[in-house]
Structure 1
Amino acid sequence: MRKPELVCPAGSLPALKSAVDQGADTVYLGLKDAATNARNFAGLNFDQNTAREGIRYAHSRGRKVLMAINTYAQAGDVARWHKAVDTAADLGVDAVIIADPALLHYAAKTHPQMRRHLSVQGSATNYEAINLCRDLFGIQRAVLPRVLTLPQVEHVIANTDVEIEVFGFGSLCVMVEGRCLLSSYATGESPNTAGVCSPAKAVRWVETPAGTEARLSGILIDQYKQDEPAGYPTLCKGRFAVNEETYYALEEPTSLNVMSALPELMRIGVAAIKVEGRQRSPAYVTEVTRTLRAAIDAAFADPQRFAPKPAWEQALGKVSEGQHVTLGAYLRPWK
């Protein structure tokens, strides 16, 4: 049984340092070059100076840095994505996380010494797809979409020599990653092309006598009472009127939390456990990294008697979306 890497998000330099200080084995980041990574929000991501400082900080402490270049290059603008790969190589990251097959080909051809990971945005849910990317592009790790059961994850691992990384904590998506069309339906932009889900320029908050309306490109996504905390408007997690009832018609806000399944993830050979949240605060990164570091170490030391501590559950509950957690697709008792 192997101890999986703890892979944590870094949307900013303070978040990167927090993750490293709290025990992350690996951090992942993106560049401030608009559309080449799927967390393209104002105030997030790294220019070359902050990236160099962050990489130096992590490497000096024996940690690894991955760069997400996980959107799909657009016709007529491919050079921007090629430049991002070249920048990653120049900065000395430990691996690039790529979804676009053409970009994987470019990275393998131009920088063969740099590790290549298949992004979750590549939407590979079976070992055949993963092995094809290994044979064609030399990938050494694949991040699985959050739609597989644990037995299905085990089946993938048993049939490939590519390292498998799974999500362990963070916001869930109703879509198979890499195949979302909802945000582009409303705004003309999607995480796969422009690096954003619900771009900030399309978001409007409207104060009304009944409370605050959250709108996306004019579409009413939700309405909050005066004292009700408001979530960031996304189509998949909005409340809509359906047959005279108003509720979360597509997906209720909740967070994935695999803490109780850590021994099983280790048994089946998961190489890395990833935390979602480059768009979140350094405080979120600190809390989640510290808690999962302790839990993973405890589960590896004594998997037979491992049980999540109430303090760990409470700590992660405080930073969970909607204050709810789930094992998601990993556990389907009806299947």
Structure 2
Amino acid sequence: MELLCPAGNLAALKTAFNAGADAVYLGLKDDTNARSFAGLNFSPKKLQQAVSIAKTQGKKIFLTINTFPKPTEESRWYQAIDMAADFGADALIMADLSLLDYAHSRHPQLPLHLSVQASATNVGALSLYKEEFNIERAVLPRVLSMKQVRDLAKVSPVDLEVFAFGSLCIMAEGRCHLSSYVTGQSPNTGGSCSPAQHVRWAEKDGQQLTKLNNVLIDKSGKDEQMGYPVVCKGKYVAEDNGDTEYMLESPTSLNTLSLLPELGKAGIVSLKIEGRQRSPAYVEQVTRVWRNAIDTYLNNPAGYETQCEWNAALDKVSEGQTTTLGAYERTWQ
């Protein structure tokens, strides 16, 4: 199984490779990718340097071009695809049909991976993308149970990649409009669900206040752990009882270390670590743990056991310092 790690900059990329990542995924410094934060991502020159570093070390670079162009603005996305082909990226991660068509027709030699933003969750959808655009891999949305992942893996016409660790998303990726109601910017086109320029933290009456575009998202004690303010992980007042609580999703991180044997038996080819917006220190810690876990499993699949120190290390860098299996453990699906 491939260990695929995030790289928000060259420092994170080098750290990921040194810590044992087989491949990294990254984006350009514009809205062609879904982590378009200030100070993050790669200029064309840095991308070329990243590809060179990866090839020298026998690693891989996957470029995310996974947002959806607005009318008349498609040229930026086309230029990103051409650039990736010219620089020798190992694959593109994309969701938009027109971009997949452009890449497949203009650069048939360039491997295409279907982004989680495409929300492809059944064999019919995967077969269509395979037939029309010859995708080699699909990233599964974080809304499937383990049984659903297993069932799909048995019949999938392409390799499958899953999120193994990091921030959760409760929506069918690529179809979330929650944050656009608060910020006026869609994550599907603008590149981030909570743009940094709209985020504000403040203290009042001994509590921490988190606001998104001046809308109060969360309130907590000074010593409590808080996640990055996104609408789906905010606290809201329930009309029936008046309680303030996390109605949609609490700020927790996905951690599937315990599911590693099941994912391996299902034939999942790549385990993805979320966090291009996180620091190189985060990347190093998470990559080292997962490298150790994957190697332990591959060396002795039948005897694999999750180590307490692995979970302890991951808890320290988890959102809210709390982890969950998320949708993987939903037996009712």
Query: Normalising by the residue count of structure 1, what TM-score does the alignment of the two structures yield?
Result: 0.96
C-alpha displacement of 1:264 = 1.0
Superposition RMSD on alpha carbons, in Å?
1.3
Query: Residue 277 of structure 2 aligns with which residue?
Result: 279
1:100-115 maps to which residues of 2 (within 5 A)?
Answer: 100-115=96-111
Deviations 1:99-158 (A, max 9, x none): 101100000011111000000001101111011001001100000001111221122222
Query: Residue 308 of structure 1 aligns with which residue?
Result: 306
Contact 1:255 1:320 survives alignment (8 Å)? yes
**Structure-1 separation of matches of 2:19 and 2:73:** 39
Please say if 1:9 is aligned against 2:2. Answer: no
Give, as a single letter, the amino acid of the residue that structure 2 aligns with 1:285. Answer: V
Aligned positions, number: 331
Contact 1:58 1:64 survives alignment (8 Å)? yes
- Match of 1:142, SS? strand
**Structure-1 separation of matches of 2:284 and 2:11:** 10
Please say if 1:146 is aligned against 2:128. Answer: no
2:174 counterpart (178, 189, 208):
178
1:229-248 maps to which residues of 2 (within 5 A)?
Answer: 229-242=225-238, 243-248=241-246
1:191 counterpart (187, 193, 202):
187
Query: Residue 79 of structure 2 aligns with which residue?
Result: 83
1:252-291 maps to which residues of 2 (within 5 A)?
Answer: 252-291=250-289
Query: Residue 22 of structure 1 aligns with which residue?
Result: 19
Contact 2:226 2:251 survives alignment (8 Å)? no
Give, as a single letter, the amino acid of the residue that structure 1 aligns with 2:67. Answer: T
Give, as a single letter, the amino acid of the residue that structure 1 aligns with 2:136. Answer: Q
C-alpha displacement of 1:334 = 4.5
Query: Residue 197 of structure 2 aligns with which residue?
Result: 201
Contact 1:8 1:19 survives alignment (8 Å)? yes
**Structure-2 separation of matches of 1:180 and 1:260:** 29
**Structure-2 separation of matches of 1:226 and 1:321:** 16
Q: Percent identity?
A: 53
Contact 2:232 2:249 survives alignment (8 Å)? yes
Give, as a single letter, the amino acid of the residue that structure 1 aligns with 2:268. Answer: V
- Match of 2:187, SS? coil
What are the ranges of 5 or more consecutive residues in structure 1 without an aligned counterpart?
none
- Match of 1:307, SS? coil
Query: Residue 28 of structure 2 aligns with which residue?
Result: 31
C-alpha displacement of 1:227 = 3.6
Give, as a single letter, the amino acid of the residue that structure 2 aligns with 1:22. Answer: A
Contact 2:162 2:268 survives alignment (8 Å)? yes
**Structure-1 separation of matches of 2:37 and 2:134:** 31
Give, as a single letter, the amino acid of the residue that structure 2 aligns with 1:13. Answer: L
Query: Normalising by the residue count of structure 2, what TM-score does the alignment of the two structures yield?
Result: 0.96
1:165 counterpart (161, 184, 201):
161
Contact 1:263 1:300 survives alignment (8 Å)? no
C-alpha displacement of 1:307 = 0.4
- Match of 2:165, SS? strand
